[in-house]
């Protein structure tokens, strides 16, 4: 596997030459692509150098042990180093394979977060709001930007559904495992006998699509405009600024009413529609390799119950990897790393098994 790494230095020199080309700087998209490739190869090259050095040291120590004329004390030192070097080589081998794992082409993309109330009535709607606050606080801790694209607020303080665009570095790579059914168990404020109710909401994570990738034929769209409504259905706008777009070939419907401008709502709705069309294509591709999807934690199956939030016990359980944490209050405040990183590690481990 490592034979092909000997020309890494040449590849890096070639990329450095490109990066110093003033013409390339004017093409920011291509420039950023080469910057990322250079960073990737630099990390790989540094690990490969460490691997080669450790391998050479291991061979030297083994030669010392085999040499009958060698000093006994030196042989003891060599034996001790051999076990350390073998452990280091295992770690470096794993780190190199992790870098070589096929990258998800969506990892660098901005992401649409869609949260919808499922079973449970008002409790489900309230939990939609709770999850949105959790993700918003996590986004803030990552330096990401959250822009609400559309929402259906209810008078009780929750949402029937809410859709937001989250922009920043590596958004999709961290949030892609959140798609699925999130179940909540807690005592509603209106419950007088203290009984625990179970509700559910669905979360969908969709990568933002470029216009080039998903070309929407405007002739295939049915666009309706109407007045925005707030909690309880009352009109909150005196003009027809809300927009509903129906994509006739697929039947997909997108609405947007958060902006006062019809033009802005239409632009936002088209952005969401583009993401859903891209997601539809990618889901169809995933279905063709369903066996792989079942073995990976990031299957994105939105009918799958992935997580339970048990408030009476302060417990969060992720059912896909049997992860249980008794720090629910901390997690709901937006500190999601203890949930997200084990999911990433599990996914990497499953994919590594396939290339061992």
> Residue 106: what pLDDT?
85
CA 221/CA 218 separation, integer angstroms: 5
**pLDDT (average), residues 130-157:** 93
The model's pTM is: 0.69
pLDDT at 211: 63
Tokens of 196: 């625990």
Task: Report residue 3's pLDDT band, with 50, 70 and 90 as the boundaries.
Answer: low
Q: What is the pLDDT of residue 103?
A: 80
pLDDT score, position 144: 97
- Return the percentage of the chain with pLDDT > 90, whole number: 40
What average pLDDT does this structure show over 145-171?
Answer: 91
Predicted confidence (pLDDT) at residue 338 exceeds the cutoff of 50? yes
Residue 232 confidence (pLDDT) above 90: no
Asked whether the predicted pLDDT for residue 290 surpasses 50, the reply is no
Task: Compute the distance between CA of residue 103 and CA of residue 170 in angstroms, rounded to an integer.
Answer: 12
Nearest to 207 by CA among 112, 117, 115, 297: 112
Task: Give the pLDDT of residue 296.
Answer: 44
pLDDT digits (tens, 9 = 90+) for 162-194: 999 999 988 999 999 999 999 999 998 777 678
**89-109 mean pLDDT:** 84
- Counted residue by residue, the chain has a size of 356
Given pLDDT bands bounded at 50, 70 and 90, which one contains residue 321? very high
Is a pLDDT exceeding 50 seen at residue 153? yes
Q: Domains of the chain: which residue ranges?
A: 3-100, 111-350
What is the pLDDT of the chain when averaged over all its residues?
A: 85
Please give the backbone phi and psi of residue 35, each rounded to the nearest 5 degrees, phi first. -60, -45
Looking at the predicted structure, is the pLDDT value of residue 313 above 90?
yes
Pick the range with the lowest mean pLDDT from 195-199, 235-239, 258-262, 333-337: 235-239
Condensed to tens digits (0 to 9), the pLDDT of residues 58-80 reads 999 999 998 888 888 888 888 88
Please state, as a whole number, how many other Cβ atoms lie within 10 Å of the Cβ of residue 178: 23
Has residue 224 got a pLDDT over 60?
yes
8 A C-beta contact, residue 302 and residue 180: yes
- CB-side neighbour CA atoms (13 Å) of 197: 18
pLDDT confidence band for 291 (50 / 70 / 90)? very low
Taking domain 111-350, whether its CATH number is 3.90.960.10 is answered by no
Q: What would you report as the CA-atom Rg of the chain, rounded to the nearest whole angstrom? A: 26
At 212, the pLDDT band (50, 70, 90 cuts) reads low
pLDDT at 325 over 90: yes
More confident residue, 43 or 1: 43
């Amino acid at each position: 596997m490592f034979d092909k790494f000997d020309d890494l230095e040449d590849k890096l020199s070639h990329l450095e030459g490109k990066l110093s080309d003033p013409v390339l700087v004017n093409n920011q998209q291509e420039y950023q692509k080469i910057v990322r490739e250079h960073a990737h190869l630099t990390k790989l090259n540094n690990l490969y150098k460490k691997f080669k050095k450790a391998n050479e040291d291991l061979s030297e120590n083994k030669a010392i042990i085999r040499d009958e004329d060698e000093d006994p004390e030196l042989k003891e030192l060599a034996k001790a180093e051999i076990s350390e070097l073998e452990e280091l080589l295992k770690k470096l081998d794993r780190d190199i394979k992790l870098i070589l794992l096929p990258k998800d082409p969506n990892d660098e993309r901005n992401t649409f977060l869609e949260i919808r109330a499922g079973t449970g009535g008002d409790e489900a709607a309230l939990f939609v709001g709770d999850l949105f606050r959790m993700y918003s606080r996590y986004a803030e801790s990552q330096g990401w930007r959250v822009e609400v694209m559309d929402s259906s607020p209810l008078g009780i303080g929750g949402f029937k559904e809410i859709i937001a665009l989250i922009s920043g570095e590596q958004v999709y790579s961290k949030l892609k495992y959140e798609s699925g059914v999130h179940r909540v168990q807690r005592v509603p404020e209106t419950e007088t006998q203290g009984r625990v109710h179970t509700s559910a909401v669905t979360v969908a994570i969709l990568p933002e699509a470029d216009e080039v990738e998903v070309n929407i034929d405007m002739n295939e769209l049915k666009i309706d405009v109407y007045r925005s409504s707030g909690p309880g259905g009352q009109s909150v706008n005196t003009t027809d600024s809300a927009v509903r777009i129906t994509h006739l070939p697929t039947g997909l419907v997108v609405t947007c009413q958060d902006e006062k401008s019809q033009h802005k709502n239409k632009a936002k709705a088209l952005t969401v529609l583009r993401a859903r069309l891209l997601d539809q294509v990618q889901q169809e591709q995933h279905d063709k390799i369903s066996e792989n999807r079942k073995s990976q934690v990031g299957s994105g199956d939105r009918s799958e119950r992935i997580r339970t939030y048990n408030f009476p016990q302060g417990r969060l359980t992720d059912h896909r990897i049997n992860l249980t944490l008794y720090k629910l209050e901390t997690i709901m405040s937006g500190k999601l790393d203890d949930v997200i990183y084990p999911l990433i590690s599990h996914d990497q481990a499953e994919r590594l098994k396939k290339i061992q």
